[in-house]
Amino acid sequence: MADLFALLVQSGNSLGAHSAALATAGNNIANANTPGYTRQTVELVANPASGVTGPLAVGRGVSIGVITQARDAFVERQVPQTLAAGGRSQAESDALQAMSALDPALPGGLSSTVSQFYTSLRTLSQNPGDVGLRQNVLSTSANLAQSFNQTAATIEDTRNGIDSKIQGDLNVINSTARNLADLNGRIQQTSAAGGDVNDLLDARRTAADTLARLTGSTPYTNEAGDTLMALPGGLALVTGNSASQLSALPDATNGSHLRLLVTKADGSGPSALPTAFMGGEVGGLLDARDGALKTAANAVDGLAFDLGTSLNTLHAAGYAMDGTTGRALFTLPTTSAGAASQIAVNPIVAADPKLLAAATTLPAASGDNRNILAMIATEAQTLAGGNDPVATLQKITGDFGTSSATATATAAHDSAMVTHLTDLRNSSAGVSIDEEMINLTKAQTAYQAVSKVITTANSMLMTLMSIGTTTG
């Protein structure tokens, strides 16, 4: 038989359950725009009858079972690797897009100054004794050298800029990894103590996503429920309660650009982190810095060295207006490394246009243009690098352009994948205000109904109380 007092108590508990449902809906609404927030649902559980079985058993109201988070495990597993791929291709694409030294129509760019150099030689060939035209050749030679210097400098600046970005990313990676390890510990403690870990779980997932995007690492869950992060190649970034730390030092074998080091969670290191062990945004930056940009820098150095050497050989074999010989037109380093940044016009020749070696035989007649013609011919002659200067410039531009275009196309594709998966995740885990408004109304109505039950039970109790008392 239903006990009215028990009914009151149970209804009070039921009120609590419905206000918890209301509070949950309210929490969801408040966090509708919180990044990384996963909506929470209250599971209401009917309290079974106690102590009485059979057809007269009546349940004892409702209570809260558990407040769960709406996570789609399948989508969740795919998100980190998609973020990693997207971070990598976007970083490479942005870095390559930003480098404009190889733009084909760039005023003062390499192809323009090489062209002007040969133009000045051709004009001189028609009147080699004219000092003004000789001076013009020296000016275009200086412009050519300067253009090589600037192109090399711009590529180097871009690579240095990437190093700064990497350093910034490493700082974020290190603090996020420590944070993730810390969250693992707190989640364990809090759930052992029976507390609510939903917000901590959200924070941990956001940290894991950040690390995936920046480093290409993959999250794993161990038996204890901790989230571990493993870099590509398997090196642990976060193991349970501790995190490895990444650092960088200049690498003398790579033009003093940064190479990565890892200090492992157990304290050993710092030891070298191979490039293959890094993905995500940092991996993409390294791809750009040591891939397309390095190739372009080396090719520009190669062109400066080969063309300069080829012209120097001809110039040194020719005769200046005063009959002297044996001078180089350009000063170059001994190998192609750094040739583009160091190439300059031989200062002795630069100071006196008459020392430009236009003649091929003695006496060096003022109208002897044969060495100039030989120098002009280098425009179509194969250099040590395997192509003539024009084809080399074409190749440098084309190769860089192809790398950039490929990175951009890959980034666009990866970005679409990221959007797709993020949409799926938002769809299952996100808050819909319409839905929460309905939940709110549902909880409110139930609350009102239970209150009505209380009022009714109370009035029934009052009726009971007033039996046996007379008024008047």
Task: Tell me: does residue 157 bind another protein (CB under 8 A).
Answer: no
Per the CB < 8 A criterion, the answer to whether 285 and 91 are in contact is yes
Task: Tell me: does residue 190 bind another protein (CB under 8 A).
Answer: no
Task: Tell me: does residue 103 bind another protein (CB under 8 A).
Answer: yes
Task: Tell me: does residue 298 bind another protein (CB under 8 A).
Answer: no
Tell which positions 367-386 bind another protein, by CB under 8 A.
367-370, 373, 376-377, 379-380
Packing angle, helices 292-317 and 73-97, rounded to 10: 20
Task: Tell me: does residue 232 bind another protein (CB under 8 A).
Answer: no
Task: Tell me: does residue 270 bind another protein (CB under 8 A).
Answer: no
Q: Which amino acid is at 377?
A: A
Task: Tell me: does residue 434 bind another protein (CB under 8 A).
Answer: yes
Given the complex with another protein, which of 191 and 432 has the nearer CB atom?
A: 432
Task: Quickly count: other Cβ atoms within 10 Å of residue 39's Cβ.
Answer: 23
Task: Tell me: does residue 419 bind another protein (CB under 8 A).
Answer: yes
Among 4, 249, 348, 438, binds another protein (CB under 8 A): 438
Task: Tell me: does residue 445 bind another protein (CB under 8 A).
Answer: no
Q: How far apart (Å, rounded) are the C-alpha atoms in residues 228 and 206?
A: 13
- Binding residues for another protein, total number by CB under 8 A: 66
Q: How far apart (Å, rounded) are the C-alpha atoms in residues 151 and 207?
A: 40
Signed CA dihedral, 202, 206, 209, 211: sign only: negative
Least distance (Å) from another protein to the CB of residue 332?
23
User: What does the angle CA 79 – CA 80 – CA 84 come to, to the nearest 5 degrees?
Assistant: 115
> Which pair of structure tokens corresponds to residue 24?
């949950």
Among 4, 9, 32, 449, binds another protein (CB under 8 A): 32
Among 50, 254, 427, 466, binds another protein (CB under 8 A): 427
State the residues that interact with another protein by CB under 8 A: 32-33, 39, 96-97, 100, 102-105, 111-112, 114-116, 118-119, 122-123, 125-127, 129-130, 359, 365-370, 373, 376-377, 379-380, 390-391, 393-395, 397-398, 400-405, 407-408, 419, 422-423, 426-434, 437-438, 441
